[in-house]
A = this chain, B = another copy of it.
Amino acid sequence: MRDLDKIDREIIRLLLENSRRPYSEIAAHVDLSAPAVRDRIDRLSELGVIRGFTLDLNTELLRGGVGVLIELAIEPGHATAVADALAALDRVEHRFVTADSTVFVHATLGSGGVSELLDSAVPVDRVRSIDVHLLSEESWSPSITDETQLSIDCVECGNTVTSEGETATIDGTEYHFCCGSCLARFEERYDRFSADA
């Protein structure tokens, strides 16, 4: 498994700035051919590093309601479940889960307010407290630093996959492993599972 190199980071930087840039323009910047740039972008997409191409909207010019940051203190162990339930909601733009089991939700309220937003999605008995911060300003400016590296977990043991790791495509899906023995163990389990089914 190759890590991100300087060129990958530069391509990401250029696409963060303008994702509609033609491959040929990017190619000129990083001194490669257009197909090579495309290959790298495809690879970054398959890896999941690039989740998609999207818009930077100025939400301050759009009025679909009031912007809020909701702070939910959750029973330990249930933060991820609550966060997942919130992910499905249209009005929720960001979710942050903290190490101490608090969920921050950045959302736009409709006329129904906070209760309309949360009631359907959040299991009340797991929530210890709710704090709603009204927002007067929001901004977003994504970036990537020169130190940014890949951080992929081995699907077998959970350790971080280094450049010595291995990648295997099984039934059309790519899986990443930290070492050959994790790959072997995974394949064995996979074969057993497939045979059962």
Contact = CB atoms under 8 A, between A and B. Distances in A.
Contacts of A58: 48-51
A64 interface: yes
A100 B134 contact: yes
B50 A98 contact: no
Interface stretch (A26-34, A144-152, A163-171): A144-152
Interface residues of A, number: 67
A56 B54 contact: yes
A83 to B, nearest CB: 6
B51 A57 contact: yes
B52 A139 contact: no
B110 A147 contact: yes
A155 interface: no
A185 to B, nearest CB: 23
Interface of A: 4, 12, 15-20, 47-58, 60-65, 69, 79-80, 83, 87, 90-100, 102, 104, 106, 108, 110, 133-145, 147-152, 160
29 contacts: A12-B57, A15-B55, A16-B54, A16-B55, A16-B57, A18-B53, A19-B54, A19-B55, A20-B20, A47-B61, A49-B62, A51-B58, A53-B56, A54-B54, A54-B142, A55-B142, A60-B151, A63-B150, A64-B148, A69-B96, A83-B139, A87-B141, A90-B143, A94-B94, A94-B140, A97-B137, A99-B134, A100-B133, A110-B145
